[in-house]
Amino acid sequence: MSKFAAPRKSLGQNFLQDPNIINKIVEGLGITKTDTVVEIGPGRGALTELIIPQAGHTHLIEFDRDLVQHWQSRAESNDSLTVHGVDVMKFDLDEIIGTTSKRLKVIGNLPYNISSPVLFHLMHYADAIEHQVVMLQKEVVERMASGSGSKQYGRLSVMLQQRYQIENLFKVPPTAFFPPPKVDSAIARLTPLRDIPHPVTSQTNFEKVVKQAFSMRRKTLRNTLKGLLSSEQIESLNIDPSARAETLEVSDFAALSNTYTMNEEST
């Protein structure tokens, strides 16, 4: 492989170098020759070099200009490789979705400073995704997978669990990277739910209600949802208005959101 520039701190670049960890991450996606795989942030190709021979077609989304140039030169001699030199947050995955009849498999070592926005961005395409295997800061994965009543449970937990089955697969130590990050990492597998157990009538309103409910963790729903729902409306859903957001289940947030949407439609 060609020589690369030093990792860019401004882009949050920490490159994987432990072959055992690399193998385990790719195995978690379960790639077959009929799959279209999307890798976010291929970097120097630790995962990519394993993915390309296993997949039917591989799409790389990379923002670093030098790395884009490297992968584009590789793609010139490989018809099963496509490179998108773009910020993932500005990329419309429909460009790839329209090229295959199968659901996509998504993998990536997400930049830790924008991991939550990337996850929310990918959520828009959940119907067209089979699995997502992503590397994130360990604490973020714990928040994603945590249940109600725990300190880690919050907006990220509720938003993702309403739409995905989330598995915390395994931890990745700093020594697996160059340069070693100052935090522990973990691998999560997100599988979009096909039959959503707690559907919402407006995703926008669901986001609004969940965000507001967790905006002041120490305050009760009566206070945090003031202006959206009255205490009587909250109570009518068999939810205690004096409860805090962290004690509610995903089903409760879906019910609150749907009631708020119904209120909006009737006014």
Domains, the chain? 9-192 (3.40.50.150), 203-266 (1.10.8.100)
- Residue 227 — left, alpha, or beta (φ > 0 → left; ψ -120 to 50 → alpha)? left
Q: What is the pLDDT of residues 66-85, one digit of tens each?
A: 999 999 999 999 999 999 99
Q: What is the pLDDT of residues 24-35, one digit of tens each?
A: 999 999 999 999
- The model's pTM is 0.90
